[in-house]
Amino acid sequence: MPDPTASPPTPPIPLSAMLADRKLDLRLVAGPSAAAGVDIDVPVHWVHTSEMADPYPYLLGGELLLTAGVQLTGANADRYVARVVEAGAAALGFGVTPVYDTVPPFLVEACERHALPLLEVPPHTPFTSVARGVWRLMAEARHRELRRVTEAQQGLAAAAARPDPVPAVLRQLAVRLDGSAVLFAPDGTELHATGRAQSPATREALRRLATVVTPQTTAPSAPTSATDTADSTHLTAYALGDSEGPVLGIAAARRDPGDHTVAGVAVVLLSLLTAPHQGAAEAGRSAALVRLLLGAPPAEAAPLLGPGPWTVVHARGGATPFAAGALAAALGSALYETAGTAVRVVTDREVTPQPGWTLGVSDPVTPPDLPTAALRAERALHRAEATRTALVRHHETGLTGLVAPEEATAHARTRLAPLTDSPALLDTLRTWLSLHGSWDRTAVALTIHRNTVRQRIARCATLLETDLDDADVRMELWFDLRWL
């Protein structure tokens, strides 16, 4: 797919633009249209000066070759011009004086025979002025092309925002490229066409070209774009989206340097506009959200997420407003939210450390247990921050399986009842116990002052009427907090 952000290359300038430049004062004395006295549009890509008897090895093609004819004679003129033509030069510029007072007739005749445009460079126009004039004309042409591409990009973007975006983008593309734009189905069936009318042969050639391109997602070795010509018309086809996506076909009488960039923007927009609707998994998750918004209990909406197992990730980090979305994408999920300075992600993928993030990861659960998993992920995040670890996973211990969950939960609620009205005290106690009674690390994990930690723990000891310096008491409270 073409890069829509690429700038068009420096465009060549037609030889007629140089002849029309009064500052250069060049004159066409031989060539395909010299006899008719009209300008010609041979493209000139650059200027090269050489006084070698055979400049062929040093030419790249497309040059305006400048020479004063130091080694040019009537005997070698024909071979000289033939070699210049063979090298692909656009034209030959002959400087009058100091070697010759006029353009020698034998050079004019040779250029006529080989259909090579021959320009007379007058004495008052140095070769450096010719080169500088060409660069100036190229800069002006590039500026015009950049402005045209910018206006085309704006027009395409505006068309994509219309109520009928796909036909609007196609129409805008056809206008900007002065041709026609056609949307084909993968099998070559024409879905929509707009722009200049094309001959039946050209339309059929464009249809055949559309069947050549194949999206890269299904056939890595197949091209995603192709070009051809028919009846002097330039044809291009671009694959859009996946294997079921349509194909964009473009037919234009000419191909300007910026057209590739304009087409690239249209390809990106049309790929997004014609993308298939969300799959079954995404539809199920959207349905779950809709049910929750309409008042359904979580237990009813949770199964629509899919069987899972699901993992909850609490994360902190990221330096940009888009970091949360980037993290969720890296974890293979579109289910995420920001909660203060933290990001919460629900994913069914394996969670690995992510650069710039501190992660707390729950154990995999089924949808009904997601609220519990969220608490575990939050605790794991606190522990990760306190221990300066990139990723901490929640793990159940073996002792939790020795007590019935219902009995353990009832005992925990009774034991911790004095703290249930104060989430801050419960959270501080849980974090303090998980960090082995460290005041400093608990303060870091909760982002509070260490004296505040001491005051809260002392308050917990008073409300619970227990000695928190006792290791057995700490152990019992730890299990109560987990069951709670």
pLDDT tens column, 108-125: 999 999 999 999 999 999
- Region of 317 on the Ramachandran plot (φ > 0 left; ψ -120 to 50 alpha; else beta): left
d(CA 297, CA 302): 9
CATH topology of domain 307-395: Alpha-Beta Plaits (3.30.70)
The domain at 151-273 falls in which architecture?
A: 2-Layer Sandwich (3.30)
pLDDT of 288 strictly over 60: yes
pLDDT of 307 strictly over 80: no
- pLDDT for res 1: 42
Q: What is the CA radius of gyration of the chain?
A: 37
pLDDT band for position 6 (cuts 50, 70, 90): very low
Q: What percent of the chain has pLDDT over 90?
A: 29
pLDDT band for position 359 (cuts 50, 70, 90): very high
Note whether 93 and 27 are within 8 A (CB).
no
pLDDT of 4 strictly over 50: no
d(CA 376, CA 183): 51
CA dihedral for 450, 451, 454, 456, sign (positive or negative): negative
Identify which has the larger pLDDT, 173 or 484. Answer: 173
Report the first-to-last Cα separation within the chain, whole angstroms.
55
Q: Which residues contact 163 (CB under 8 A, 6 or more apart)?
A: none
- pLDDT for res 37: 42
Which residue shows structure tokens 């057995």? 472
- Choice among 255-264, 291-300, 446-455 with the minimum mean pLDDT: 291-300
Highest mean pLDDT among 126-130, 289-293, 409-413: 126-130
pLDDT of 139 strictly over 50: yes
Q: What percent of the chain has pLDDT over 70?
A: 82
How many C-beta atoms surround the C-beta of residue 421 within 10 A? 9
Q: What is the DSSP letter of 446?
A: H
Query: pTM of the predicted model, to two decimals?
Result: 0.47
**Contacts of 140-149 spanning 24+ positions with Cβ under 8 A:** 141/10, 141/11, 141/13, 141/17, 142/8, 142/10, 142/11, 145/8, 145/11, 145/256, 145/257, 145/258, 146/7, 146/8, 146/258, 148/176, 148/258, 149/7, 149/8, 149/258, 149/261, 149/262
Q: Which residues contact 87 (CB under 8 A, 6 or more apart)?
A: 55, 56, 59, 61
How many C-beta atoms surround the C-beta of residue 163 within 10 A? 5
- pLDDT for res 35: 46
The yes/no answer on whether domain 26-124 falls in CATH 3.30.70 is no
Domain boundaries along the sequence of the chain: 26-124, 151-273, 307-395, 399-483
Highest mean pLDDT among 9-18, 456-465, 475-484: 456-465
Average of per-residue pLDDT across 61-86: 94
Average of per-residue pLDDT across 387-394: 87
pLDDT of 309 strictly over 70: yes
Please give the CATH number for the structural domain made up of 399-483. 1.10.10.2840
List, as one string, the DSSP characters of 220-235: TTS-SEEEEEETTEEE
d(CA 112, CA 36): 13
